Every structure is written in structure tokens, then in C-alpha cells.
Chain A
Amino acid sequence: MAEDAARADAGPILAVTALLERGTKEIEVRLHVEARTIGPPNPRRKERSAAAETDVIWRRVALDFDRVQTRDLVKLYGSTRALASVGIELPAGRITAIEGANGSGKSTLLQILALQARPTRGEVRFGAHDPVRVPELRATIGLLAHAALLYPDLTAIENLELSAKLYALPDVPRTIAGMRERFELGAFAERQVRTYSRGQLQRVALARALMHTPRLLLLDEPSTGLDVRGVERLITVMKEERARGAIIALVTHDTSLAEACADARIQLVSGRVAAPERAA
């Protein structure tokens, strides 16, 4: 108990120092959290909460990375070659569009980046980390797909609450309130997800994907089925995430979406990188 209290006191200062050394763009957000962690002197509940928040920050500092790289990625499904020697680099603070026709290997590449498929050969590195050996790195990934990845029989609030608890986020009610405000989740958020329009689904899906402030944001055909307003919101959110230093991979065959927001574009043809990265 005494150790916990001591760590809660010392942790914030050390964590801020580490973040300063890394020079990340998240420093203001972190300082805000640290200020709350130090907070007014008060009872044990606050100490435990502070210790939990400090632990979250420590974990993030230890697992942080500023780029994702793949080297010679090969993925075979039986005799079918989905990816052939794919080497790309996704730096922080940039939106990288991965484009290609159906069957070009985009979704396979995204599944490997999301650690949901293993390459037949080659490797993925999250900064200095090997994500295969560090499963905790899953917590640094946010995934937004064409499907909403939400339980249709639960409400948006229940879905977000479940997600927040799975990610062990501190102060769940406040986090959810923040997401509701950011993504304009009005009264409909109390209804079952099954009843939502495509636009409402996308807003909740964005909130779920971003509520744990992921370092790596993977977007799999996110604009499919959206109206103009929905696509605009998506672009705005991507730019906000880029500004906070997220690594963003946008898998799409929507050229106009890539042109509107991507800093770099990678073309996949038959599982190979067809052209060198180019600025949008």
C-alpha cells in the first residue's frame, strides 16, 4: 500500500520526464492527466485511481513507438500469394493511404498490421518492438472498418463502456462523456445499435476505435456507404488524429478520399508495392 502511494507520488513526474525526452506531441494531454493524478490530497480511493492512471501512462511510455515498418512481408493462403515482399514504413503524424484494386492484398496487409494475421515470411516492427513477442501492443491499435465492430443488441453507451473496461481505461464515465461530446452521440446513444443509421453507426465506431487514444490507427475501407457529411467527418477526425501524432494507415480504393487527406500513398498490385510512396 505504501509502495503504491509512493509510486503514485513519484510516477507522474518520472512519466512526464520520459515523455519530454521523447518529445512526443502528446505532452499536453499527458500533463493534463498528470495534473489530475497529483490532484488534491485526498482519500485512498483517489490514491488508487491515481496509481491506476500512472500505471496506464507508464505502460504507454514503455510501449510507445513513432513508426511502424514491415520488411519483406509475404502472405500465402495455400498456393495463393496475397502479399509478396511488401516493405513499407508508416511514420507518426502522417496519414498513409494504401490503395489497390480488389484482391490486391490491402486487407491482408491491414490484418497483419492489426496483428490479426501472421505473415508467412517477413516481419512487422512497431518502433523497436516486435508485436508478436509483445501482445500488450494490441492496446496501442485502433481499428475502424466498414463493419462497425459493435454489438447490435447493446446500446452505444454499453458498447463504449465495455470497450473502455476491456482497455482498462481510468474514469470510464468521464471518458465516455468526452467521446459523446466529440462525436455528437446524442439521445440515440441510449438505443440499441441495431436501430442506427449508417452515419450514426460510423460515429459510434469512431468513438470506440479512438477512445483509448491509439498510437496506430488502422482504417479499413472506412468511407464505404457513407454520405458526404459522413466522409467529411471521417476526414476531420483523421486530421485531428494526425495532429496528435497518431500513425494512420488508410486502406481504401476511394481515390478521392486518399487525395483529400493522405500525406503519402502506397499502391498495391497483386500483393506487391507497385510504385514508391508518393506525397498526395
Chain B
Amino acid sequence: MTGLASSTLLLLRKELQIELRTREIVVTTGLFATLIAVLASLSFYVDPDSALRVAPGVLWTAIAFAGVLAMGRSWSREREHDVIRALLLAPVPRAAIYLSKAIASCVFLFIVELVLLVEIAVLYNIALGAVLGPLLALVGLGTIGFCAAGTLFSALSVKSRAREMMLAVVVFPVVTPALLCGVVGTRELFLGATFSELTGWLALLGAFDLALLAAGIVLFDPLMAD
């Protein structure tokens, strides 16, 4: 069998190649996230003080919905022409399929998040420069956990007929801890917490990421088998 690392890279290259050609995931999820940010700012922005409290919720809500959209679309590529059957037949570790999807989803979501952070800063009057480092750490770690769990269970949508229900019922409860850590950590940051005061949230997110990645690598094969 081809090794895990080499086959993951091979499949990741394929994911990026298709996205570079179609741009459908980044563009559609980017527009969707922008829409959420704009609508929420029109509805919730009262004054700069309330904006600081609302912005974290808007940021992570946009990330969550954009992420589910991105992962659903990513797996639907495997459904088209039933190509997942060929992929499952290939002599590569099945964990490579999971890892390549998870990494690709992270990359696509990071791109969307960079745009989203600028929009949130403008719409909610937040000085990004002062919080950029810790904010990127929170968003980065939260996204890894979100993609690790989301990719695993979105994969079920390839085999399930109740795809949308599967995402709502299974994915959101599993990614909730990552989202909660992200929202609370971001709120504390916007309200003036220092980097050292956030290390607890960052450590929790890191541990959550590792646990979910390990679970994904171990569980993907049995989940896809029958």
C-alpha cells in the first residue's frame, strides 16, 4: 500500500487542484459568511460596546455555517459520478482520504476566515491590530477541530440519503465544544483579556483538535465500510 503521508499529499493536491479550477467552495462559503456578518451587523449593532459582545457570536456563527457548507460541498464531489467507490478501492490507507479532506477544508475555511475577520473588524468597529495574534490562534485552532469533526461525519453524507439531516443531527453536536471554546475565548479577547489569560482556552482547543483528529483517523474506515 502507498504510505499514509504520500497518499494524503496526493489526495490533498487533487482537492486543491479541483478548487483552484472551480473556486466554488471558497467563493460560495465566503459570500455566505459575508451575508451573515452583514445581516447581523445591521440587526445587532447598537453601539461600540455592544458590538464587542455581539461580534464573537457573529464570527463563529458565520464560521460554523460556512464550514458545514464547505464540507458538504467537498464530499458531494465524491458523490458525483460515484467516484468515492473508486477511492475506497484504491490501495491507500483510508485515513488518507479523511486527512486530505480535513486539511483541504481547513485551508478553504482559513481563506474565508481571513476575509471574514476583516469584514467583522470593519462592521463592528474592532481594532484588529491589538488582538490579531491571539485571535488568529483561536480561530485557527477552532477551525482545525471543527474541520476534524465535521469532515468525519460529513463523510457519512456520501452514503446517507438524509444528508442534510445527518449534518444537523450529528455534526453540530460533535463540533459544539470547539465552537464554545472559540466563542468564549474570542469574547474574552475582545473584552480585553491578555494572551496569557487565553492560554486555557487555547490549550483546550488544542487538546480537542488532537482528540478529534485521532478519532477521525481511527473511525473513518469503519464508518465508510458498510
Interface residues of A (CB under 8 A from B): 114-118, 135-136, 138-139, 141, 143, 145, 147-154, 158, 162-163, 165-168, 192-193, 208
Taken residue by residue from 15 to 53, chain B's Cβ proximity to chain A (1 for < 8 Å, 0 otherwise) reads as 001100110000000000000000000000000000000
State the total of A-B contacts with C-beta under 8 angstroms.
81
Report the Cα distance A68→B87, complex, angstroms.
22
Q: How many residues of B contact A (CB 8 A)?
A: 24
Report the Cα distance A138→B77, complex, angstroms.
22
B85 within 8 A of A: yes
Question: Are the CB atoms of B18 and A138 closer together than 8 Å?
Answer: no
Question: Are the CB atoms of B81 and A148 closer together than 8 Å?
Answer: yes
Question: Are the CB atoms of A151 and B83 closer together than 8 Å?
Answer: yes
Q: Known contacts A116-B88, A118-B225; is A166 also within 8 Å of B7 by CB? A: yes
Chain B residue contacts of A136, Cβ below 8 A: 1, 91
A-B contact pairs, 26 of them (CB 8 A): A114-B89, A116-B225, A118-B226, A135-B1, A135-B91, A138-B89, A138-B90, A139-B91, A143-B89, A145-B82, A147-B81, A147-B82, A147-B83, A148-B82, A150-B83, A150-B86, A151-B14, A154-B21, A162-B10, A163-B86, A165-B2, A166-B87, A166-B92, A167-B90, A167-B91, A193-B81
Q: Known contacts A151-B77, A154-B18; is A163 also within 8 Å of B83 by CB? A: no
Question: Are the CB atoms of A168 and B77 closer together than 8 Å?
Answer: no
Minimum Cβ distance to chain B for residue A36 (Å): 22
Question: Are the CB atoms of B91 and A168 closer together than 8 Å?
Answer: yes
Chain B residue contacts of A115, Cβ below 8 A: 89
Chain B residue contacts of A165, Cβ below 8 A: 2, 10
Q: Known contacts A141-B89, A149-B82, A163-B90; is A168 also within 8 Å of B17 by CB? A: no
Report the Cα distance A168→B85, complex, angstroms.
18
Question: Are the CB atoms of B91 and A149 closer together than 8 Å?
Answer: no
Q: Known contacts A118-B225, A162-B10, A166-B7; is A150 also within 8 Å of B89 by CB? A: no
Question: Are the CB atoms of A152 and B90 closer together than 8 Å?
Answer: no
Report the Cα distance A153→B22, complex, angstroms.
8
Chain A residue contacts of B22, Cβ below 8 A: 153
Report the Cα distance A158→B17, complex, angstroms.
10
Minimum Cβ distance to chain A for residue B11 (Å): 8
Minimum Cβ distance to chain A for residue B99 (Å): 14
Q: Taking CB as reference atom, which chain B residue is nearest A220?
A: B85
- Interchain CB contact (< 8 A) of B14 among A114, A149, A162: A162
Chain A residue contacts of B77, Cβ below 8 A: 151, 153
Report the Cα distance A116→B225, complex, angstroms.
6
Question: Are the CB atoms of B17 and A149 closer together than 8 Å?
Answer: no
Q: Known contacts A118-B225, A153-B77; is A166 also within 8 Å of B90 by CB? A: yes
Q: Known contacts A116-B85, A147-B82, A149-B85; is A166 also within 8 Å of B225 by CB? A: no
